[in-house]
Structure 1
Amino acid sequence: MNGHWLLPEHLADVLPAEARRVEELRRSLLDLFRTYGFETVSAPMVEYLDSLLAGAGEDLRLRTFKLVDQLSGRTLGLRADMTPQATRIDAHLLNRQGVTRLCYCGPVLHTRPNGLLASRELLQIGAEIYGYSGFQADLEIIRLAIATLSKAGITNSHLVLCHDGLIQAIINSDSAAVARADEIISLLRDKDLPGISGLADIEGGLLGQTVEALHWLARLNGGVEVLESAREHLPPLPEVTQALQTLEALLAGLDMTSLSIDLADAGQYGYHSGVTFMFYAPNWHDALVRGGRYDNISMAYGRARAATGFSLDLRRLAALLEPAAPVRAVLAPAGYDAELNKSIDKLRDSGEIVVQLLPHECAEHAEFEIDRELANVGGRWIVRPLN
């Protein structure tokens, strides 16, 4: 069998109706971001690997395709996430002293899919705020994420909040925990209480108070009452107290009924530094939107900047929406008549879709509902209903 047209696994073509839906959504969301004061940036698909992965975690390194630059001989990376590129632009190119709001949209490529149903090519759209460390920036980003989903027609999303600074404070209070940080994060995400208990039994194991605190973290998920329980059972470290106060402030500023708190649902250890969040939608198996604070990652580009933001896969978001309906269009006959061309141009300038036939054309227009025609009546070109 000749299968040269087949695509690699977890890659797919996008056909007209879906492509139009994705493109319309892209335009409307970038326009939405602009109303919030975000400036659009664009970065290359390929960069030198050391620049592309500066400050990134191991997960991003594993997801990044590598290749050799034929001009310089250096290793290049195909971007797997646009956030580091926006961070580089803010820290290294714009070099502003105050607050900067940036947004972006572009394709990213993963070496492996994140799940059985996931694609390896995503159309990532996102927004980032740089240069402000207060919770108000986190609140603005979360509100923008809510508005993003609402703009796409998803009004029944569910928000899950966490605070990685709280988790890091507990880990950093115990040198044995610092050495096993990645393992601890994995156990917390899985709510693996026996595994957490086992951390005290190994050679050079964790302190008993650390294991107890991690036990509580794995169980602290639910409604707003979680914060009061956290105050009661977590160690009174200054960073823990501050994290709980930040979450309380966010909750006070959010007008959202469907939300929960999961203090064990950590982001990337060593990457996220504060509030992290995810949005879920009914009948969808994974988070639609992921975001959070990642202060000082820009140190890898020579300047520490507070940062918070979110991103999502636009194609996956579009897949949750109703199929795009055919668009009304006008059918014009073949020909080179000057008055006919003027009439077609006038209709297109007014926003109408005009499909002009080619000589002897027999085509299918599934994207369009052709319900009118441009016809010559008494020497004048007029639009009339199509029989």
Structure 2
Amino acid sequence: MGNWLLPESLADILPAEARRIEELRRELLDLYRTYGYELVAPPLVEYIDSLLSGTGTDLNLRTCKLIDQLSGRTLGVRADMTPQVSRIDAHLLNRPGVTRLCYCGTVLHAKPVDLLSSRELLQIGAEIYGHAGVEADLEIIRLVLETVRIAGVVRPRLDLCHPGVVRAIVDADPAAQPHIETIMGLLREKDIPGLDDLARRPNGPSAHTVNALRTLTTLYGDSSELARARRELPALPGIERALDSLDALLSYLPDLPVSIDLGDVGGYGYHSGVTFALYAEGWHNALVTGGRYDNVSRAFGRARPATGFSLDLRRLAAGLAPAERASAVRAPWGQDAALAQAVRELRQGGDIVIQTLPGHEHDQDEFIFDRELAQQDGAWTVRKI
């Protein structure tokens, strides 16, 4: 094994790709600022009890852990920046009204999500704190759509869900609650035979509960699935509230391709309201995920309504067209003061100027020399090549 080999599911980012990712990062953070989102930068590592507060078990399994040599306490390398941003809003900023925050940074997963995923992500996202109404959810979704539009994603499709539906079904049956992790796993795989087997276990969920869960696995499609859910699911207040929330949000999105998937339980235990996932041709799974998570900041001593989204900039860039080489000005190497001044002025104006070292005039892969700085009539001027 060579010293140059990297661990599994980790990779270097080479110049052209790194440039495209960085340009996209800057453009998106500038976009979020025009909406009033303030940039924060939490640390890469935190104490594990703070990092995982209110997040459920999934994030715990994705988090790499180590021992702090100074305190002896367990640290975690962040696998998701959203809990950190929630801590900043609830504990450090402590503002009474609406707060909009955005962020971008590296996160590390203990294991890749699937065979095609990396363990190192460049996560970018935005969050709204302090408003419980549909207006905040709508603003976040509109910001998601503007994000992928700027990136060049065409024909995005939005999947909506609400964990309150499955939560209401399980909470209504005391016999189902000890089996919640098993139920979530079966729903995640849409394993109907597994649900039937669960109903036959001693002290398992009631047949009425299992029938409702089986129905959930089929409630996928266009907005008409909400009407079918009202007809076929139990008449529970929690279900009615969840379906009302989805209907309210859909009324503001009449021209957007939207699907409903009430059997999606990916955010169960973390999300508290409407959740969404954005899909697009060229990416094998959800490109952007988000939704409402009002309960997370309670762990930091101040419960706040919250909704937001995040995505992996590296994966977003990987599905776009290859980055084009940038145009540059070629300049000779030299100590002439007038040459140095001409190079400085071009760079201050935003031009890429490369002074070629002796014997390496044509050793550029990343740039295209379409102009050159040459001396003419005693002055340094730019001319086309």
TM superposition score normalised by structure 2: 0.97
Q: SS of the residue aligned with 1:352? A: coil
1:210-267 deviations in Å (ceiling 9; x for gaps): 1221121111111111011011111121221111111111111114442210100122
Unaligned runs of 5+ in 2: none
Which amino acid is the alignment partner of residue 224 of structure 2? E
Q: 1:168 matched to which residue of 2? A: 167
Deviations 1:156-186, CA, capped at 9 Å, x for gaps: 1111110011211111111122211121122
Q: How far has the Cα of 1:362 moved from its partner?
A: 4.8
Counterpart for residue 154 of structure 2: 155
Q: 2:90 maps to which residue?
A: 91
Deviation at 1:368, TM superposition (A): 0.8
The worse-fitting range, judged by mean Cα deviation, of 266-275 and 318-327 is 266-275
- Say if 2:240 is the partner of 1:241: yes
Query: How far apart, in 2, do the equivalents of 1:247 and 1:268 lie?
Result: 16
Correspondence for 2:270? 271
| Counterpart amino acid of residue 30 in structure 1 | L
SS at match of 2:36: coil
How far 1:379 sits from its partner (Å)? 0.2
Shift of 1:70: 1.2
Q: For the residues of structure 2 that align with 1:182 and 1:33, how far apart are their CA atoms?
A: 37
Where 2:242 maps in the other structure, the secondary structure is helix
Give the equivalent residue in structure 2 for 1:293: 292
Count the aligned residue pairs. Answer: 385
Unaligned runs of 5+ in 1: none
CA contact (8 A) 2:282 2:319 kept: no
Which AA in structure 2 matches 1:201?
A: R
User: RMSD over aligned Cα, in angstroms?
Assistant: 1.3
Identify which range, 215-224 or 196-205, moves more after superposition. 196-205
Q: Is the 8 A contact 1:47 1:77 kept in 2?
A: yes
Which 4+ runs in 1 deviate beyond 6 A? none
Q: For 1:4 and 1:290, how far apart are their aligned partners in 2?
A: 37
2:167 corresponds to 1:189? no
Supply the distance in 1 between the matched residues of 2:244 and 2:187 (Cα, whole angstroms): 22
- Contact kept in structure 1, 2:330 and 2:372, CA below 8 Å: yes
Q: Residue 347 in 1 paired to residue 353 in 2?
A: no
- TM-score (norm. length: structure 1): 0.97
1:313 match: 312
Q: Which residue of 1 aligns with 2:79?
A: 80
1:7 alignment counterpart: 6
For the residues of structure 1 that align with 2:11 and 2:30, how far apart are their CA atoms?
27
Counterpart in 2 of 1:201?
A: 200
The code of the aligned residue for 1:278 comes to A
Q: CA deviation at 1:201?
A: 1.2
Q: How does 1:1-387 map to 2 (within 5 A)?
A: 3-362=2-361, 364-386=363-385
Distance 1:198 1:140 in 2: 43
Bigger Cα displacement from structure 2, 323-332 vs 180-189: 180-189
Q: Distance in 1 between matches of 2:20 and 2:270?
A: 33
CA offsets, 1:75-119, max 9 Å, x none?
Answer: 111111100100100010001111111110000011100111111
Deviation (angstroms), 1:284:
2.2
**Identical-residue share of aligned pairs (%):** 60
Give the C-alpha shift of residue 189 in structure 1: 2.1
